[in-house]
Chains A and B, each alone.
Chain A
Amino acid sequence: MNFDFSDEQKQMRDEARKFLSEQCPPKAVRTVLDGKAAYDRDLWRGLAEMGFLGVAIPEQFGGAGAGHLELCVIAEEMGRALAPVPFSSTVYLAAEALMLAGSDAQKQKWLPKIAAGEAIGTLALFEGKGNPSPKAIKLTAAGAALNGTKKPVPDGAIADFAVVAARTGSTGRDADISLFLVDLKGSGVEVKELTNLDPTRGQAELTFTNAKAEPLGATGEGWGIITQVLDRAAVLLAFEQVGGADRALEMGRDYALDRIAFGRPIGSFQAVKHILADMYVSATLARSNCYYGAWALSTNAAELPEAAAAARISATQAFQHCAKNNIQVHGGMGFTWEFDCHMYYRRANATALGLGSVSYWEDALIDRMRKKNAAA
């Protein structure tokens, strides 16, 4: 059994960590957090130069053609550093949708630009409150013209193009949904930036009025593609969450070693130790679930839907648990803007919702486990 990343993949993780610790210190995250920039352009360019944006994109489309295991180790480091760039929307959502369903021409148009850091992409799925569901999609597509509103759209205000889920039928079935590619710089697209829990990853409202669009994949197959994209993104985002959880645990541990109260380091008190031990437990469970997700993703295994849901739930719970308890270990200082704890708390709770909430994925996991049991 070799249920681990290879030495080369671990080396790539080390490179990514070194690069991000130099190019993405907390100060850089704060520039975006404080609203002084929509995202870190220098970092985005640097990630492209390192080959990280196109690591899973085939060479013929301008990528490194490495694979998804490599993307997983980079994702972990992006989460650890809270990188304030549109990585998840562009790489996990838009690029994955293009690779799954795009025509050669569509791939040729957008994937090389993604790998080069010249195009930001996103997935426009949600229309207000609620979790992913074909029933919630009201935006219509008549011919090649879209009409309707999407929100929240991750990184929608800075994106160059979007994969948009639209209603093309009214039978009440999944086949009513189709996907479209929209150049957001074209006419008929109105972009409004929204305030959100984690300003280091922006959210927007996109309103389409007879916006020009081209189909992505066959008509009526949109929901199937979205389900696959969400599963793939769930694994990748789970690695970001595990990276964030680990960093929050380290911050709490380091503070508990430094901070003296009642004449001793607070980390010598069992009440504090046990908080940190529980953080370690949740982060370890999540990491192991993520490894299984990575295996399923990289081999496109039949187990991917179940593995993705498990990784998503476990990593979401772990990041939320570690981020909130990191603040608890820091005490009052953890509640200041000056300390970085709240940046992890914000990221943990925003990423918990982005692909559908935990309860949505819990429901999906049980469905998928039952299906597997019924088939067995």
Chain B
Amino acid sequence: MNFDDTPEEAAFRAEARKWVEANAPKEYEAELSRSSLGRIRLEKAEIVDVGKAWQKKKAEAGWACLHWPKEYGGRGASPIEKVIWQQEEGIYGKLTQPFQIGEGMCGPTVMAYGSEEHKRRYLPKLASGEEIWCQLFSEPAGGSDVAGLRTRAEKQGDNWIINGQKIWTSGAHYSDYGLLITRTDPNVPKHKGLTMFFLDMKSKGVEVRPIKQANSMQEFNEVYFTDVVIPDSQRLGAVGDGWNVSLTTLMNERMSIGARLATGFPEMFEFCSNLMTEDGLAIDDPAVRSKLASWAVKTSGLKYTSYRAISSLSKGERPGPENSIGKLVAGTMLQDIATYAMDLEGAAGALTGASEEVASGQFQQMLLTSPSMRIAGGTDEILRNIIAERVLGLPGDIRVDKDVPFNKIPTKGR
């Protein structure tokens, strides 16, 4: 048992470190180090612009989407090499946020189902950040129940005509292409009538509207489709096989090993170490210590769980299911930590601006943002179902809509 690289891994790490050291945009180092949660904001530049420049530089040197085959813009790196790269890229990895959905979800789906021509045309530009992709799955009527989606695609000659609405689309406003799942047959049970496409986000009839969120920020969008035309050549997988295609996409979403999950613990430990109360430092209070300790062991537990997964990758094995716990643990912890930090601030905890009474408003922002961590990318409840069914082998829930044609499923509870 050790934490050491193999000689090959060490050589790869040294090469990556040297390149990052020589090429990273150091002018953003301080800002990137500070931002620990949610979307990154830069004072004097747009994250997308800075990100594109960084991604392009990486691509030219072979560090973008490095686990992809060379002909599609990668360098054919192994999974462990990808993890090592992420570690070495460090805080500059935050700049790749606009490309993560493309790299993690859209790209792998095009790679699995696209034609050779498509792969050569789209993947290298996706990898280099020249073109940004978004994922158009969720709908107002289909969140956790994605297969309940209602956006229609109707065949007309060699084209498909799209009408409907998507929601919670990150980055739709700056994306060039989108991965779109639609209903092509409402007369069969819901999972069987779906078909996957990709489309140019600048197509006529696509309208992107930002959503104002509960935390008063705007990061997600609604996307409306009105008679949008997609050529049949942009279909991914067979007509009616969209559900299986989407599983490829979602599986890739959950396979991200070594992902940086914010728990709020380092910020909280520092806060309690410095907060002076009437009875002394907060961290000397046994009640505070007890809470901190419970969060500390969850944070270290997550860290070493990812180390176990990385070790499997290093041995060329497939990691076990342990990593499925990450977001479930981190989301709730973030919310609990924010609530408790504000409790320690007392009445002033309700203030959201930076002042001497509150810790620069970071926990207040954490509080307002944390509900989304427990919903996006699979709600806590869906994640528990996945652990129960796929890891522990418990039977699936009884599904009353499973064998019912989609257009016969009730749409209102009362």
Contact = CB atoms under 8 A, between A and B. Distances in A.
A309 B9 CA distance: 32
B4 A1 contact: yes
Contacts of A276: 388, 392, 394
Contacts of B395: 257, 264-265, 267-268
- For chain B, the bracket of interface size reads 35 or more
B227 to A, nearest CB: 40
A257 B394 contact: yes
Contacts of A369: 269, 296
B247 interface: no
Q: Is the interface of B mostly helix, strand, loop or mixed?
A: helix
Given A268-B398, A274-B388, A370-B273, A1 B296 contact: no
Interface stretch (A34-42, A74-82, A203-211, A357-365): A357-365
A78 B297 CA distance: 24
B290 A289 contact: no
A5 B307 CA distance: 13
B394 A310 contact: no
Contact of B289 (A4, A268, A272, A362): A362
A270 B387 CA distance: 11
Interface stretch (B54-62, B205-213, B309-317): B309-317
Contact of B302 (A269, A285, A365): A285
A11 to B, nearest CB: 15
A285 B384 contact: no
Which among A265, A277, A361 has the greatest number of chain B C-beta atoms within 10 A?
A277
Given A2-B1, A267-B395, A268-B395, A313 B293 contact: yes
A289 B304 contact: yes
Contacts of B372: none
A56 to B, nearest CB: 15
Interface stretch (A157-165, A291-299, A331-339): A291-299
Which among B3, B5, B301, B314 has the greatest number of chain A C-beta atoms within 10 A?
B301
A309 B383 CA distance: 29
Contacts of B290: 359, 362-363
A36 B3 CA distance: 48
Contact of B305 (A5, A249, A269, A284): A284
Q: Is the interface of A mostly helix, strand, loop or mixed?
A: helix
A31 interface: no
A272 B385 CA distance: 10
Contacts of A264: 395, 398
A182 interface: no
B295 to A, nearest CB: 11
A268 B328 contact: no
A272 B397 CA distance: 11
Nearest to A264: B398
B224 to A, nearest CB: 34
Nearest to B83: A1
Interface string A1-32: 11111100000000000000000000000000
Interface residues of A, number: 49
Given A256-B394, A273-B385, A366-B283, A3 B1 contact: yes
B394 A253 contact: yes
Contacts of B392: 249, 253, 276-277, 280
A289 B385 contact: no
Nearest to A4: B311
B397 A280 contact: no
B388 A273 contact: yes
B322 interface: yes
A183 B283 CA distance: 44
B381 interface: yes
A69 interface: yes
Nearest to A288: B304
A218 interface: no
Interface string B1-22: 1111100010000000000000
29 contacts: A2-B1, A2-B315, A3-B307, A3-B310, A4-B312, A265-B395, A267-B388, A268-B394, A268-B395, A270-B384, A270-B385, A272-B394, A276-B388, A277-B383, A277-B388, A278-B384, A284-B325, A285-B301, A285-B302, A292-B300, A298-B1, A313-B297, A314-B300, A359-B290, A361-B293, A363-B290, A363-B293, A366-B296, A370-B273
Interface of A: 1-6, 69, 249, 253, 256-257, 264-265, 267-270, 272-274, 276-278, 280-281, 284-286, 288-289, 291-292, 294-295, 298, 309-310, 313-314, 317, 359, 361-363, 365-366, 369-370, 373
